[in-house]
Amino acid sequence: MRHPSLMIAALAGLTLVSACTPSGESEVDRAMREADIVNDASFNDVMLTVGEPEEAISYFTRALVAEPGRIDLQRGLAKSLIRAGRATEAVTAWQAVVDHPDATNDDRVDLADALIRSDNWAEAETVLDAVPPTHETFERYRLEAMIADSHEEWSKADSFYEVAVGLTTTPATVLNNWGFSKLTRGDFPGAERLFTDAIRNDGQLFTAKNNLVMARGAQRNYDLPVIPMTQIERAQLLYTLALVAIKQNDITIGKALLQEAIDTHPQHFEAAVRALRALEDNVAN
pLDDT tens digits, 255-277: 999 999 999 999 999 999 999 99
Q: What pLDDT sits at residue 11?
A: 34
HSE-CB for 258 with a 13 A CA cutoff:
22
pLDDT at res. 197 = 98
Give the number of C-alpha atoms closer than 13 A to the C-alpha of residue 159, restricted to the C-beta side.
6
Q: Give CB contacts under 8 A, 24+ apart, made by 183-187.
A: 183/211, 183/214, 183/215, 183/218, 184/149, 185/154
Is residue 3 scored above 50 in pLDDT?
no
- Whether the pLDDT of residue 2 is over 60: the answer is no
> Other CB atoms closer than 10 Å to residue 224's CB: what's the count?
17
Alpha carbon separation from 255 to 89, 91, 147, 235, 261 (Å, rounded): 45, 46, 39, 14, 10
Indicate the domain borders of the chain.
1-102
| Residue 227 scores a pLDDT above 60 | yes
Residue type, position 42, single letter: S
Q: What is the mean pLDDT of the chain?
A: 88
Could you tell me which CATH number the domain at 1-102 has? 1.25.40
Closest to 183 in 3D by CA, of 205, 210, 204, 223: 210
The pLDDT confidence band at residue 285, using thresholds 50, 70 and 90, is low
The full DSSP string for 201-213 is: H-TT-HHHHHHHH
pLDDT band per the 50, 70, 90 thresholds, residue 41: low
Tally Cβ neighbours within 10 Å of residue 194: 27
Name the pTM for this structure. Answer: 0.81
